[in-house]
Chain A
Amino acid sequence: MAPENVTERRRRNWHLWAGFFLCLIAIPTYPFVFARFPITRDIPWVNFLFFGTGLGLLFCGLKRAFGQPQRYRGKTAGSISALFSVSALSLFCFLIFQTRHLPASAGAPRIGQKAPEFVLTDINNQPVSLTSLLSTPLAHSSAPAKGVLLVFYRGYW
């Protein structure tokens, strides 16, 4: 009898590896690449695309591994990769939506209100007051600035 199934080696299931790879890079590429551009940072659609495509490929790969186990490998590795990828996607969603949990800041100065006075230390450890920022001339002119833009940020610690 012709043992054609026995001699045919089981093939690598490239869908699984491609899918896993996409899901693996989907999270780190956000802070290192896509967060640099507002168009891909405000809504991380590229990263969601990586996850979507990755999970789709993993699903195809798993269908092959379980549906045709004689031809395709990857039942165990594929299942573990899929589990990891779904967890990664959940983590990513959680992290992204965390950034929306900001305090209401209802007491922040509104348009038309005078901004509260303050004195803070600059990078040379010198005290700087809001009044001086508003009245001191800018570096290359003799007139004070037309305005001051206060940018409060989270800090880098």
Chain B
Amino acid sequence: MRPVAISVDAPEVSRNLCRKKNYTYTFLSDPKADVIRSYDLVHPGAGINGQDIARPGEFLLDSSGVVRWRNLTEDFRVRARPEQIIEAAKALP
């Protein structure tokens, strides 16, 4: 399974984050929140300078791009636990 992290952070910001924490998976930048908007995950004005950012959400897609599992937390402090995601990934064909 391939994890892909998406936010409004610029590529440089994500690059520094990956270097600091030794993340090796894909980080993508959506600075104008266009894709975030197309997924209806936009949190208008919630950024520190009033910019639009994403509300947290995870989607597990199968190899044809169909959503098999998703998690839209009601509270951004509460995240999906890794065990939940691994369970869902095991169920992929």
Q: Which A residues have a C-beta under 8 Å from some C-beta of B?
A: 35, 38, 41-42, 96, 99-100, 102-103, 105-118, 120-125, 128, 130-131, 133-135, 138, 144-157
Contacts and interface: CB of A to CB of B under 8 A. Distances in A.
Contact of B4 (A96, A106, A144, A149): A149
Q: Is the interface of A mostly helix, strand, loop or mixed?
A: loop
Given A149-B4, A151-B58, A124 B11 contact: yes
B67 A112 contact: yes
A120 B30 contact: yes
8 contacts: A38-B81, A108-B39, A116-B39, A133-B26, A146-B92, A147-B1, A152-B56, A155-B53
Contacts of A148: 1-4, 60-61, 65
Interface residues of B, number: 65
| B-side interface mostly | mixed
B51 to A, nearest CB: 8
A122 B47 contact: no
Nearest to B60: A149
A154 B53 contact: yes
Contacts, number: 194
Nearest to B38: A116
A98 B74 CA distance: 11
Contact of A153 (B6, B47, B66, B93): B6
Nearest to A113: B67
B54 A152 contact: yes
A120 B37 CA distance: 13
A151 B81 CA distance: 13
Contact of A108 (B6, B41, B77): B41
Contacts of B76: 99, 102, 154
Contact of A155 (B15, B54, B58): B54
A149 B58 contact: yes
Nearest to A153: B7
B5 A151 contact: yes
Given A42-B75, A108-B57, A146-B63, 17 more contacts: A42-B78, A100-B74, A100-B75, A103-B41, A103-B43, A105-B40, A108-B72, A110-B67, A110-B70, A113-B66, A120-B28, A121-B11, A122-B26, A124-B15, A148-B2, A150-B59, A154-B46
Contacts of A109: 39, 59, 67, 70
